[in-house]
Amino acid sequence: MNIFGRSSVRWRIALIYFMLFFVVLAVVSVYLVGRIEQYQLSSLKENIERTISESNLPASLGAYDSLSESGEEIQQTLDSSWSSFSEELSVVDERLRVCASTNANLVGQSAADVFDAVIIASCLLTGENGESDAVLSGGIPVKNLCYIIESARDPGVIYVRADLSSIQAFVAQSRLIFIRAILIALLVTVILGFVLANSITRPINDVTDTVIKMAGGDFSQSVQVKSDDEIGQLAEMFNLMREKLEGTLSEITGEKNKLSTILEYMADGLVAIDLDGGIIHVNPAARAILGLSDDAPIPGDYDALMGCIAENISLSRIKASCEKQGAQDVFSRGSGIFAIHYDRFKDEDGEDIGIIILIQDITERQKLEDMQRDFVANVSHELKTPLTTIKSYTETLIDGAVEDRDTAVSFLEIVDGEADRMTRLVKDLLQLSRLDHRQERMDFREGNIVSLVKRCIIKVEMTAQQKGHQILCRFDPQETFRVLMDNDRMEQVVLNVLTNAIKYTPEGGLITVDIDADGREVRVSIADNGIGIAEDELPRIFERFYRVDKARSRKMGGTGLGLAITKQIVEEHQGTITAESTLGKGTKFTITLPRAVHKGIPNIE
Ligand code: ADP
């Protein structure tokens, strides 16, 4: 187990606990053993002193005139009275010779050789008792005690040598007992230390485990609160914090998901970059606008991604433009036109950290605006021409031409013609506007399209004959193809295509009308062998005011709105109108309408 790792607190507490007990026990033991030894020694000394003083030995020895001369007598006294004395007792005379002793081996020997001469000498000189510790040659520890024999003519000393072996053995034994007790106590201390450390560190470890799980995203587990002490409070606070964190995180995750869903599905492109141009985010719409497929890698920086498309949206330009506040710009890519809006975004300290760029596809809007502009210009132009004509002719009339009746009549006819043209134009415009706003009320009824086409042909027959055209009907006039239609509007459609065929075919042309049908659709084709339409003009002929040859069209009274209205009406009928043409060879228009499914709607013939 690594003591510097997660368990180090437990180890440290156990170690401190152990050290504390060890030091206390060691100090106490050393003190007690010392005291025991001291007590043993002092009681030994007291015993010896009490025995000697109670026996009155110093006084009785002091009664001898000469200790050296009374050696035998003293020896007899010692043998009789002191043989049971547990220590070695000797009498040393003034010549420092052992004159009597409980140890017979010492008698007659020089005290300087066998005893501690220093204490004997100081005792004799000062007249005071002395003592010393020594170790005999056999390694036996002894205590030497020296008592002065005062009243003797020639002074001497009583020399007691006490064997300390038993005391030392006792002390050693006591020490051993203490050491054992300490060891047992320390063992218990270690165990208790661990239990204590565990009780402190377990809740901390619980918190750590839960934090590790939280770091891995698991917020479900809470720490168990087992006590109401500081650690219990810590666990409680931790659980509170975990709950708040879980709530905040789920709120943030919800917001993040919401934001990423918005970014994912928003129709406008969004690019986020840092201030150095590093790409932070590109949403799918922006990818599509910038021509990046879903799995294509995103270029490393803004300039490589989109700054290179146009100079006005390079990183340096947009950074400079949004220095103070957001800005916008327009760029084109391929056939598309795009507007970008950009501004800086900040961190929580209010420091700029990047730029958000919103890209909007404004191609359609731009087209619509262009169309509106063109439309206004066209209407103004179409109205201006007849008005100029009317103005100039009426001015000429006012200036005197009115006097000449023939001139006046021809001028007034021209004015009338121009007024008619304006009326037609305004009528067409009003109808287009109604169709645009779905205000043109359609009166759908089931009818036979063959009869309708026949009626239209009859209506234009005269005009066709005037131009020497032949109208060839290649359908069975008895056939019935029922279509749900507004009769008047559908007549307007067929008449417009037929009159165009008559108008744009040089005299003596051939106009062929076909009607055929399958189970679902009816197709009416009107073909001429007239001037035809160039391939590049063909897709535009259904546009408002579009005329291939403006002068010719105007001369023929056209407004340039006929086919636009036709297309709108056909589409209102859930049908289509298409044109095929070869320049100089002729044009063919095909109107396709769904066949009526009979639902009891009144028929008209
Ligand atoms: P207009 O009032 O000028 O006829 P339309 O909308 O009916 O306007 O037709 C638009 C233009 O399409 C015409 O000006 C003409 O140039 C061209 N166009 C239409 N029909 C034919 C056709 N049958 N042959 C050749 N050009 C045609």
DSSP assignment string, 238-280? HHHHHHHHHHHHHHHHHHHHHHHHHHHH-SSEEEEEETT-BEE
What is the CATH number that goes with domain 367-436?
1.10.287.130
pLDDT at residue 56, rounded to an integer = 83
CA distance 28 to 25: 5
Q: Are 147 and 160 in contact (CB under 8 A)?
A: yes
* Number of helical (H) and strand (E) elements in the chain, helices listed first: 16, 18
Angle of CA points 498, 583, 471, to nearest 5°: 30
Rounded to an integer, what distance in angstroms lies between the CA atom of residue 20 and that of residue 24? Answer: 6
User: pLDDT band for position 309 (50/70/90)?
Assistant: confident
The owner of tokens 């010392």 is 34
Residue where the block lists tokens 């000697």: 52
> Could you tell me the residue ranges of all domains in the chain?
6-170, 219-263, 266-358, 367-436, 444-604
d(CA 428, CA 426): 5
The model's pTM: 0.53
| Token output for 100 | 């009597």
How many Å lie between the centroid of ligand 1 and the Cα of residue 536?
A: 14
Q: What local confidence, expressed as pLDDT, does residue 84 receive?
A: 84
Residue keyed to tokens 């009490």 = 50
Q: E strands within 379-454? A: 444-448
pLDDT of 599 reads 52
Per-residue tokens: 507: 């005299």
**Residue 500 alpha carbon to ligand 1 centre in Å:** 6
User: Among the atoms of ligand 1, which is closest to the Cα of residue 586?
Assistant: 24
**Nearest atom within ligand 1 for CA of residue 550:** 14
Please name the residue whose Cα sits nearest to atom 14 of ligand 1.
Answer: 547
Measured in angstroms, how far is the CA atom of residue 541 from the centroid of ligand 1?
Answer: 7
Would you call 476 exposed, middle or buried from its count of C-beta atoms within 10 A (0-12, 13-18, 19+)? exposed
How far, in Å, from the CA of 563 to the mean position of ligand 1? 7
Exposure string for 214-251, b = 16+ CB within 10 A, e = fewer = beeeebeebbebeeeeebeeebeebbeebeeeeeeeee
| Token representation of residue 244 | 């708040």
* Atom 20 in ligand 1: residue holding the nearest Cα: 500
The reply to whether 6-170 and 367-436 are identical in fold is no
Q: 445: CA distance to ligand 1 center in Å? A: 29
pLDDT at 2 over 50: no
Q: Which amino acid residue places its CA nearest to atom 18 of ligand 1?
A: 500
At 536, the amino acid letter reads D
Distance 548 CA to ligand 1 centre (A): 7
Closest approach atom of ligand 1 to CA 501: 23
Are the C-beta atoms of 567 and 577 separated by less than 8 Å? yes
| Distance, CA of 87 to chain centre | 93
Q: Percent of the chain, pLDDT > 90?
A: 42
CB contact at 8 A, 593 and 575: yes
To test the pocket of ligand 1, the residue of 467, 504, 590 to mutate (highest count of ligand atoms within 8 Å of its CB) is: 504
What is the whole-number distance in angstroms between the Cα of residue 217 and the centre of ligand 1?
71
Domain boundaries 6-170, corresponding CATH code: 3.30.450.20
Write out pLDDT tens, residues 330-357: 888 888 899 999 999 988 888 889 999 9
Residue nearest to atom 19 of ligand 1 (CA): 500
Q: What does the block give as tokens for 115?
A: 């005893």
Calpha distance 262→265 (Å, rounded): 5
What is the number of other CB atoms lying within 10 angstroms of the CB of residue 43? 11
**Measured between alpha carbons, how far is 90 from 485 in angstroms, rounded to an integer?**
160
The 10s digit of each residue's pLDDT in 520-538 is 999 999 999 999 999 999 9
Class of domain 266-358: alpha beta
Pairwise CA distance, residues 553 & 564, whole Å: 15
Atom 13 in ligand 1: residue holding the nearest Cα: 547
Q: Which atom of ligand 1 is least distant from the CA of 557?
A: 2
CA of 227 from ligand 1 middle (Å) equals: 96
**Which residue's entry shows tokens 């606990």?**
17
Task: Please give the DSSP secondary-structure letter assigned to residue 304.
Answer: I
Token pair, residue 126, equals 């000062």
Protein residues with CB under 6 Å of any ligand 1 atom = 496, 500-501, 504, 528, 530-533, 541, 547-549, 553, 558-564, 587
Q: Which residue has the tokens 């001037």?
A: 531
Q: What is the pLDDT of residue 269?
A: 92
pLDDT tens sequence across 320-335 = 888 877 788 888 888 8
Considering the four listed CATH numbers 3.30.565.10, 1.20.1440.230, 3.30.230.10, 3.10.50.40, the one that applies to the domain covering 444-604 is: 3.30.565.10
Query: Ligand 1, from 548, 577, 591: best to mutate by most atoms within 8 Å of Cβ?
Result: 548
Distance from residue 385's CA to the centre of ligand 1 (Å): 19
The CA distance from 597 to 482, in Å, is 8
Point out which residues pair with 161 in neighbouring strands: 88, 144
Rounded mean pLDDT, 448-457: 96
Q: List the beta bridge partners of residue 591.
A: 524, 577
pLDDT of the residue at 588: 97
CB atoms within 10 A of CB 198: 14
Kind and range of the H or E run holding 514: strand 510-517
- Kindly report which listed range (72-76, 195-199, 266-270) carries the lowest average pLDDT score: 195-199
Query: How far apart, in whole angstroms, are the C-alpha atoms of residue 206 and residue 208?
Result: 5
End-to-end Cα, the chain, rounded Å? 104
Q: Whole-number mean pLDDT of the chain?
A: 88
- Residue with CA closest to ligand 1 atom 2: 558
Cα separation, 189 vs 209, in Å, equals 28
pLDDT bucket at 605, cuts 50 / 70 / 90 = very low
How far does residue 169's CA lie from ligand 1's centre (Å)? 140
Measured by CA distance, the residue closest to atom 4 of ligand 1 is 558
* pLDDT (average), residues 227-241: 83
Each residue's pLDDT tens digit, 377-429? 888 888 888 899 999 999 999 988 888 888 889 999 999 999 998 998 899 99
Confidence of residue 489 (pLDDT cuts 50, 70, 90): very high
Say how far apart CA 53 and CA 19 lie, in whole Å: 50
Are the C-beta atoms of residues 427 and 433 closer than 8 Å to each other? no
Residue closest by Cα to atom 7 of ligand 1: 562
Element (H, E) at 197: helix 165-215
Which atom number of ligand 1 is nearest to the Cα of residue 549? Answer: 16
Tell me the C-alpha to C-alpha distance, in Å, between residue 37 and each of 87, 140, 172, 204, 550.
Answer: 18, 16, 9, 49, 139
Look at ligand 1, atom 23, and give the residue with the nearest C-alpha.
501
Question: What's the mean pLDDT in 486-506?
Answer: 95
Distance 461 CA to ligand 1 centre (A): 19
